[in-house]
Amino acid sequence: MTQVDESRPLTREENDLLTQTGPGTPGGELLRRYWQPVALSEELPPSGAPRPVRIMSEDLVLFRDDGDRLGLLGLHCAHRGADLSYGRLEDGGLRCIYHGWLYDVSGRCLEQPGEPAGSTFHERLRHRAYPCREVGGIIFAYMGPGEPPLFPAYEPLLADEGYRVSKKRLSDCNYLQSHEGNLDPEHLSFLHHGLPRREGNFYSAPPIVRTEETPFGGRVYSIRPAPDGMRFVKTTCFVMPNINATGPDHGGFQMGWHVPIDDFSHWRYSVGFRRTAPMDELARTESVSEIADGYRHVRNRANRYLQDREAMKTWSYSGIGTSNGPQDACVQEGMGAIEDRTEEHLGTTDQGVLLARDRLLRAIQDVLAGRDPPHVVRDETSNHHDIRVVTAVIPGDRDWYNFWESSQEAGVVSPFRALRAAGRV
Ligand code: FES
Ligand SMILES: [Fe+2]
């Protein structure tokens, strides 16, 4: 268990290592060692048009061939660079509409109709291609070198369709800003808080924060005082390299991937699930009114997130509606496209942020040294991950670190059940 009172800011070199994700950058090479989301399944229905996608500064085309196999190829045709997302889906692949070159999902060029009969030119050509997997309503790709690792067996992705919801949202800033936001429990007492601070609200007091390393990354514990001598305990997981597991207690949790589009914008893919009951319609569609076309927030920098100064006087700390997403976007995009972490002054509640930076910087060194970084899974027997997200109110004299081993015991109360019992929700 780690406790840090103050910490030095990052050096410029460290900030660059963590935030630069294009091909050939050390940080980009680290992210490419793991399966990454590239689209929602709903964006590419069977027989749907190929889609251009930009991931980690690479322009690619995602498609299903006429045998329903997924392909992810370099966007620009190997012949003279035409955009393959306008191509034809036929004859076992994707055919460029400029001169008819045909590619299969593995990047082999099957035909070059303009070349002489008997030419072997096409056999010597290999277009950029990445393997894909479709799991839990999300299409993932492996964009790294060598043999892909096993696909990680994350519980939310394995949930049946009615028990989970998969989403994506656009953020106009570097991926690390949003990633670190999920590892910072203190902001729940401010940014996402209502007004006035009701007596007994579980987030009223800033937390004590503790962290620990785990094989998958680490856990962040926040402990707050609760009414009647109880304590409110919450764990969040940092999962290598760009994943968080967070959530309220609905008998499940949410995993989110912060996937760079380039170094100045990213997608946040998420999968929320419940173990014991299907997600109801409200849980599946909540905050839809906050989402515009293209998986963008209605509230954005151009309209100053529709911040309401009157609401700030009465019921909203931020004045930015009731949905966490736009509130997070306001502060994270407001840091600038890439936050200058050489100017920070981290405090005692920033330990989750420190844990992630430390693990990422060490993992980058692993990759530079030619080693697999942590949580690259190559062995089926170790493809199970103790990613638990716990939110509970426990007696003040109870051990907050170990209680979750037996969280079904009497005396450990879901905060939502406690709120309901108290008539607050
Ligand atoms: S540019 Fe694609 S076939 Fe010529
Ligand atoms: Fe947040």
Instruction: For residues 105 and 195, state if they share a domain.
Output: no
Domain endpoint, select from 86, 118, 141: 141
Are residues 304 and 329 located together in one domain of the fold? yes
pLDDT at res. 410: 39
Which contiguous run of DSSP H or E holds residue 141? strand 138-141
Classify residue 402 by its DSSP letter: T
- State the pLDDT at residue 200: 55
In whole angstroms, give the CA distance from residue 75 to residue 60: 4
How far is CA 220 from each of CA 16, 31, 155, 350, 371, rounded to the nearest angstrom? 25, 22, 19, 10, 26
- pLDDT tens for the chain, 425 residues long, are 655 556 788 999 999 999 999 999 999 999 999 999 999 999 999 999 999 999 999 999 999 999 999 999 999 999 999 999 999 999 999 999 999 999 999 999 999 999 999 999 999 999 999 999 999 999 999 999 999 999 999 989 988 888 899 999 999 999 999 999 999 999 998 999 887 665 557 888 889 999 999 999 999 999 999 888 889 999 999 999 999 999 865 678 899 999 999 999 999 999 998 887 887 765 666 566 788 999 999 999 999 999 999 999 999 999 999 999 999 999 999 999 999 999 999 999 999 999 999 999 999 999 999 999 999 999 999 998 888 788 888 888 888 887 766 655 434 555 545 545 555 43
Our measurement of the distance from residue 130's CA atom to the centroid of its chain's CA atoms, rounded to an integer in Å, reads 20
Residue 182 CA to ligand 2 center (angstroms) comes to 6
* Domain match, 104 and 199 both: no
Are the C-beta atoms of 68 and 34 separated by less than 8 Å? Answer: no
Q: Verify whether ligand 1 is closer than 6 Å to residue 99 (CB atom).
A: yes
Q: Does ligand 1 lie within 6 Å of residue 143's CB atom?
A: no
Ligand 1 pocket residue status of 98, Cβ below 6 Å: yes
Task: Please list the residues that pair with 297 across neighbouring strands.
Answer: 291
Distance CA 274, CA 211 (A): 26
Q: Answer yes or no: do 136 and 160 share one domain.
A: no
Q: Which of 113, 141, 169 is the endpoint of a domain?
A: 141
Cβ of 77 below 6 Å from ligand 1: yes
pLDDT on residue 55: 98
* Cα 121 to Cα 354: distance, rounded to the nearest angstrom: 52
- Identify whether the C-beta of residue 124 lies closer than 8 Å to the C-beta of residue 146: no
The string of DSSP codes covering 12-42 is: HHHHHHHH--STTSHHHHHHTTS-EEEEEGG
What predicted TM-score, i.e. pTM, was given to this entire model?
A: 0.93
Q: Which residue's CA lies nearest to atom 4 of ligand 1?
A: 99
Q: Quick check: is 388 in a domain?
A: yes
Distance 329 CA to ligand 2 centre (A): 9
Closest Cα to atom 3 of ligand 1: 99
Which CATH number goes with the domain that contains 96?
A: 2.102.10.10
Q: Residue 409: what pLDDT?
A: 44
* Domains of the chain: total: 2
**Is 117 in the same domain as 160?**
no
Does ligand 1 have an atom closer than 6 angstroms to the CB of 102? no
What per-residue confidence (pLDDT) applies to 411? 46
What is the DSSP code string of 280-324?
PHHHHHTTGGGEEGGGEESS-GGGGGG--HHHHHHTBSSSS-S-H
Statement to judge: residues 278 and 135 lie in one domain: no
> Which of 195, 408, 161 shows the shortest CA–CA distance to 316?
195
Q: Which ligand is nearest to the CA of 74?
A: 1
Return the C-alpha torsion angle 148, 154, 160, 161, nearest 10. Answer: -70
Query: How many angstroms separate the CA atoms of 157 and 152, rounded?
Result: 9
Tell me, yes or no, whether 11 lies in a domain: no
Can you give the CATH number for the domain in which 394 is found?
Answer: 3.90.380.10
- Of the three residues 141, 173, 189, the one that is the final residue of a domain is 141
pLDDT at 422: 53
Instruction: Quote the pLDDT of residue 344.
Output: 96
> How far apart (Å, rounded) are the C-alpha atoms in residues 85 and 361?
36
Helix ranges, 52-116 (H): none
Range of the domain at 358: 155-421
Pocket test for ligand 1, best of 61, 75, 77 (most atoms within 8 A of CB): 77
Question: Residue 425's pLDDT is what?
Answer: 37
Residue 92 in tokens: 């076992």
Residue 404 Cβ inside 6 Å of ligand 1? The answer reads: no
